[in-house]
Amino acid sequence: MRDVPLHCNVICLSIPFHEGGIGVFSFRATLAIVLSAALIASPAFGSRVHRAPTGHSRASHKAAPKPHRPHGQQAIEPTRVAEIQEALIREHYLTSEANGRWDAETEAAMQKYQADQGWQTKLMPDSRALKKLGLGPDYSTAINAKDSSFASPPPASTIPPDLAAGFAEAAGVNR
């Protein structure tokens, strides 16, 4: 066995090894070893023990159930019904006059129209059907539609060549 030097300027720790030798470590090294061992072992001691409920819950009350409210549109306004009826009359799916009431005849005509298009027939009018009947959304009064035209864009041949080259260069398109 070796002698441990007594002239260490720092706090030293001597650890005997199983082979008969002694290791001498400085305080910093010793502290690093102890902290590493603590960090490695801490997850094993840090887990919580889960127990079965004892019936002494702090928050044992339940909130009262909210009344069921139907979602979505429940009825169609009479002016919109009249527009749909006029479109169905125009397409020869409805023979009566537009009266603004969503009656059985109007519903049957709309279901027949949607079935002929291959769409669902059990619910209120499908948005695709309304668009195809010419009753889609009107964006002409939107905030950003003021002073705008919804016409097709001009043909590419009307764009000045230097401007088109600038667009192509900015987009990284080779001509």
pLDDT of residue 136: 84
Residue 86, in any domain of the structure = yes
How far, rounded to the nearest angstrom, does the alpha carbon of residue 165 sit from its chain's CA centroid?
39
State the angle between helix axes of 104-117 and 78-90 in degrees (0 to 180), rounded to the nearest 10: 50
Residue 63, in any domain of the structure = no
Residue 46, in any domain of the structure = no
Residue 20 has pLDDT above 60, yes or no: no
At residue 17, what are phi and psi to the nearest 5 degrees? -95, 160
Q: For 12-18, what is the mean pLDDT?
A: 57
Please say whether the beta carbons of 128 and 117 come within 8 A. Answer: yes
The pTM assigned to this predicted structure is: 0.43
Give the pLDDT band (50/70/90) at residue 86: very high
Per mean pLDDT, which of 6-20, 23-37, 81-95 is the most reliable?
81-95
Residue 147, in any domain of the structure = no
pLDDT of residue 100: 92
Closest CA to 125 of 112, 138, 144: 112
Please say whether the beta carbons of 56 and 37 come within 8 A. Answer: no
Residue 161, in any domain of the structure = no
**How many domains does the structure of the chain reveal?**
2
Residue 22, in any domain of the structure = yes
pLDDT of residue 147: 67
Tokens 């306004």 locate to 77
At residue 170, what are phi and psi to the nearest 5 degrees? -65, -35
Please say whether the beta carbons of 130 and 119 come within 8 A. Answer: no
Q: For 111-139, what is the mean pLDDT?
A: 84
pLDDT of residue 93: 92
pLDDT of residue 109: 92
Q: For 66-84, what is the mean pLDDT?
A: 84
Q: For 100-118, what is the mean pLDDT?
A: 91
Please say whether the beta carbons of 133 and 87 come within 8 A. Answer: yes
Closest CA to 80 of 64, 62, 95, 101: 101
pLDDT of residue 44: 63
Residues of the chain with pLDDT > 90, as a percent, come to 17
Can you give the residue range of the structural domain that contains 24? 1-41
Residue 1 has pLDDT above 50, yes or no: no
The C-alpha atoms of residue 135 and residue 79 are separated, in whole angstroms, by 12
Mean pLDDT (the chain, rounded): 76
Residue 154, in any domain of the structure = no
Residue 156, in any domain of the structure = no
* 129 vs 139: which has the higher pLDDT: 129
Rg, C-alpha atoms of the chain: 41
Q: How many CB atoms lie within 10 A of CB 55?
A: 6
